[in-house]
Amino acid sequence: MIIDAISISYLVMPILIPVLTAFKIDPLWYGVIFISALAIGQATPPVGVNLFTAANLIGGDIDAISRQAVWFILMDVAVLLILSLFPILSLYLPVLAGLYHP
């Protein structure tokens, strides 16, 4: 929530990839979780780049957008929890298409 998503990816992923492979964590699954968490961070204050963009598009203030976005953020957190608990949900389509073999 403090830094934008691209900067976080550049700073954190080179450190986490060796850790993930050492602990035998699927990198594709972790990538889905990581990007989902970054998307939630882009919609929450204090940075909330997506909130500022939406406020500018409708010509409103950031407080009104933030109050309306709470339900979407809660649903995003629920989806993130479900994907974290059940990895097959995020890997189902690549496995089904034959593009990935866990």
Which helix or strand (DSSP H or E) is residue 8 part of?
Answer: helix 5-22
pLDDT single digits (tens) 56-75: 998 988 888 888 889 999 99
| Inside any domain, residue 44 | yes
**pTM higher than 0.85, yes or no?**
no
Burial classification of residue 6, based on how many CB atoms lie within 10 Å of its CB (0-12 exposed, 13-18 middle, 19 or more buried): exposed
Residues 6+ apart with CB under 8 A from 17: 27
Domain ranges, residue 31: 5-96
Q: Are 29 and 19 in contact (CB under 8 A)?
A: no
pLDDT for 102 equals 74
Confidence of residue 1 (pLDDT cuts 50, 70, 90): low
| Inside any domain, residue 102 | no
Report the number of distinct structural domains present in the chain: 1
Residue 42 has pLDDT above 80, yes or no: yes
Residue 16 has pLDDT above 70, yes or no: yes
